[in-house]
A and B are shown apart, each in its own frame.
Chain A
């Protein structure tokens, strides 16, 4: 058997092994997470996670501090008359929790939902008025 053929067979065996091993590792690392870990998932699609709602009224997020479990979804409902934009701290980088950003404005009576897939304490604020803050604690 030529060296090239052995080399080819070895590489293919390595690729197949890698596919199994690393896919297994992905599934293993994700075992704590619900199947639905997307940024915007309706309650009906959530199998493991709960859905919580934070209302924004008169410049206040309520509840201001919310404790949830990993995989739970939080809906930010804008009950005020003005548009808000919900973003992760710190201002102006907003990079404490990448992906946590309503991106565009959430209009009056609109909502933005986010599924938390990382443990930690995440502060957020209204980008339209950075003094209006809240915290989500993910266990």
Chain B
């Protein structure tokens, strides 16, 4: 089980570090363009309502949504990897071409290792830029709302669990796949079943702490962001502890512990 946690920790930390790289490089671009940043609370609420409606319709038409899930996943991988690559190579055409090929490779090969690489780049790229566009206060508000939504959706209505099952069936898994054995990295997605040698960490559980870290870096600097990162890693450990100490292994809401620790980290960074 320790291997499972080390893999979880490694992929989570890697996503955050690449996201921080995106933020540090992207910050210069945002400032050069003097872009308008930050959303108001009202805009965030509209976004969350839109997200809830989206989830409702996806659930309603889940039989026909397999290709749709895969399309969205492919677009997310393309957008994220293109962002990261363009910041590394400073070359838009080359980065776009590689990102398109990479997104196709992820969707076509359906191997755990390549899938995880795609998710890491997707979340780092998207989360990095999203964090630059929001203030920490707004992100804390979103984290609070999403944490309670996560609890209700996993334990009360259970629609999050059903949606995850639909996504696994359609082989469009919006999350990191963590195999219990190292051989699991070479498995195809057809053989991935949560609880049967694999664990899935949802993309929201990885990207939301990154958004907070980056928004803190944008306002308070890198050191404060690293403090939040450290606390989010503690939150990840708490999630893992709660998962392994369950009497019966069931899907659990991972965001609340990670969000709680990340928010504590933000408070510590303010005080320091």
By a beta-carbon cutoff of 8 Å, the part of chain A in contact with chain B is: 2, 4-5, 7-8, 11-12, 15-16, 18-19, 22-23, 25-27, 29-30, 33, 35-42, 44-45, 98-99, 102-104, 111-113, 117
Contact = CB atoms under 8 A, between A and B. Distances in A.
B92 interface: no
Interface in B219-242: 219-224, 238, 241-242
A103 B267 contact: no
Contacts of A4: 245-247
Given A25-B267, A40-B34, 17 more contacts: A12-B256, A18-B264, A23-B144, A26-B263, A26-B270, A27-B140, A35-B38, A37-B136, A40-B30, A40-B36, A42-B34, A44-B36, A45-B38, A98-B224, A99-B220, A112-B31, A112-B34
A33 B264 CA distance: 19
A97 B257 CA distance: 32
Contacts of B219: 37-39, 99, 117
B147 interface: yes
Nearest to A47: B40
Most chain B CB inside 10 Å of its own CB: which residue of A8, A15, A112: A15
Contact of A35 (B31, B135, B223, B241): B135
B48 interface: no
Contacts of A98: 220-224
Contacts of A36: 38, 135
A112 B7 CA distance: 42
A69 to B, nearest CB: 17
B27 to A, nearest CB: 7
Given A7-B245, A36-B135, A40-B31, A22 B36 contact: no
Interface string B259-272: 11001101100100
Nearest to A5: B247
B137 interface: yes
Nearest to B224: A98
B88 to A, nearest CB: 18
The 7 closest A-B pairs by CB, nearest first: A98-B221, A18-B260, A103-B28, A38-B37, A22-B263, A38-B38, A23-B144
B260 A22 contact: yes
Nearest to A16: B256
Contact of A33 (B137, B143, B245): B137
Contacts of A29: 267, 270
Nearest to A112: B31
B128 interface: no
Contacts of A18: 260, 263-264
Given A37-B137, A98-B220, A112-B31, A22 B246 contact: no
A15 B31 CA distance: 37
A35 B40 contact: yes
Interface in B101-156: 135-138, 140-141, 143-144, 147-148, 151
A19 B144 contact: yes
Given A26-B263, A33-B137, A19 B28 contact: no
Contacts of B37: 38-41
Nearest to B271: A29
Interface string B207-226: 00000000000111111100
B35 interface: yes
A4 B244 CA distance: 11
A53 to B, nearest CB: 13
Given A22-B263, A25-B267, A26-B266, A38 B137 contact: no
A5 B242 CA distance: 10
B196 interface: no
Given A39-B218, A42-B36, A8 B135 contact: no
Interface in B14-42: 27-28, 30-32, 34-38, 40-41
